[in-house]
């Protein structure tokens, strides 16, 4: 199964894996998620993704509606369940398998949460996370050729059908037809109009008695795959949205990761909240932070 999982990830650019939240962690994660969503909606947690801004910097104080919670491992949130799960054996083992790396090469990166907005239905535009929408064929090919040292994932606490991807697009530049639908800042009216698009559905797991037995499935993906997402205020969403890197990539992921503003992760009070595995991953992230000179800029435009 592991060989097949890795093969699917390499060929398609994404793979769905079940059961990465053990039953003993489920309740703590769901309670933590409810707490941080409530704090975000009330305005007491300012680090959020606001409707009207699709990419970093996400925050717009003039817009009250949110579609994401940033930095859910932050010590000011006081929710240790997130960091505990980020460094859990089941999750880390899959990441090592997909990246074909050793544990001492894993680098801590991002951990956020995607939520449903309260009053706005909208879509994120088709994009690759670290390739500009107006990139030429040669620029795309160059960017895609070096993007092998990290993985992003969504883990659904509730059923989630927000993500759309074009399988295999992590390896090749866009076709002219795809470029025409992804080279502006416009969101799609119909994501399935993109040539090759599929909708990714993550389901919550159920027992034979139809009772929810665990939080849902996880999709791991190369985040330079061509993808977009839709957001519906009527559909409850709390999806753990994170990434982890491989130090063999050097600084190739620096802009994509550091643009989110991670200086708080250098504070000792954050370090005290993670386990020994987490501390080693964190040290590698700090080394990446210190290896870049100045402002890394932003990958994409809003």
Which tens digit of pLDDT belongs to each residue from 252-272? 888 888 888 899 999 999 999
Question: What's the rounded mean pLDDT across residues 143-157?
Answer: 93
pLDDT at 207: 45
pLDDT at 254: 86
CA–CA gap between residue 37 and residue 49 (Å, rounded): 12
Which tens digit of pLDDT belongs to each residue from 31-48? 999 999 999 999 999 999
Question: What's the rounded mean pLDDT across residues 213-219?
Answer: 71
Which two structure tokens, joined as six digits, stand for 273? Answer: 């909240």
Give the global pTM: 0.93
Listed by start position, the domains of the chain span: 4-291
Pair 86, 289: CB distance under 8 Å: no
With a cut of 80, say whether residue 60 has pLDDT above it.
no
Q: Which of 49-58, 220-229, 290-299 has the lowest mean pLDDT?
A: 290-299
pLDDT at 209: 41
CA–CA gap between residue 48 and residue 70 (Å, rounded): 5
168 burial level (CB within 10 Å; 0-12, 13-18, 19+): middle
Return mean pLDDT, the chain. 91
CATH class of the structural domain 4-291: mainly beta
Q: How many CA atoms lie within 13 A of 265 on its CB side?
A: 29
What are residue 256's phi and psi, to 5 degrees?
-60, -35
Report the DSSP beta bridge partners of residue 30.
none
CA 288 to chain centre: 19
């Amino acid at each position: 199964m592991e060989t097949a999982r890795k093969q699917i990830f390499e060929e398609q650019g994404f793979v769905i894996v079940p059961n990465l939240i053990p039953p003993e962690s489920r309740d703590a994660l769901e309670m933590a998620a409810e707490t941080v969503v409530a704090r975000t909606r009330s305005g007491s947690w300012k680090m959020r993704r606001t409707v009207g801004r699709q990419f970093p910097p996400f925050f717009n104080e003039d817009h009250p509606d949110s579609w994401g919670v940033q930095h859910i491992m932050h010590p000011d949130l006081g929710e240790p369940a997130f960091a505990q799960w980020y460094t859990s054996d089941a999750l880390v083992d899959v990441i090592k398998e997909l990246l074909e790396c050793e544990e001492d090469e894993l680098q801590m990166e991002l951990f956020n949460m995607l939520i449903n907005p309260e009053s706005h239905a909208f879509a994120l535009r088709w994009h690759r996370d670290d390739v500009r929408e107006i990139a030429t064929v040669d620029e795309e090919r160059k960017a895609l050729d070096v993007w092998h040292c990290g993985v992003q994932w969504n883990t659904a606490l509730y059923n989630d059908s927000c993500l759309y991807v074009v399988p295999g697009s992590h390896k090749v530049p866009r076709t002219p037809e795809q470029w025409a639908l992804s080279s502006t800042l416009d969101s799609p009216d119909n994501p399935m109009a993109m040539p090759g698009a599929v909708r990714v559905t993550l389901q919550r797991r159920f027992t034979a008695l139809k009772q929810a037995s665990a939080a849902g499935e996880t999709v791991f993906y190369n985040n330079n795959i061509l993808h977009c997402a839709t957001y519906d205020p009527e559909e409850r969403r709390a999806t753990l949205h994170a990434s982890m890197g491989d130090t063999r990539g050097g600084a190739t992921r620096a802009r994509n990761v550091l643009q989110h503003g991670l200086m708080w992760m250098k504070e000792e009070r954050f370090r005290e909240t993670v386990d020994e595995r987490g501390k080693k991953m964190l040290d590698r992230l700090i080394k990446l932070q210190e290896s870049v000179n100045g402002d890394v800029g932003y990958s994409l435009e809003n």
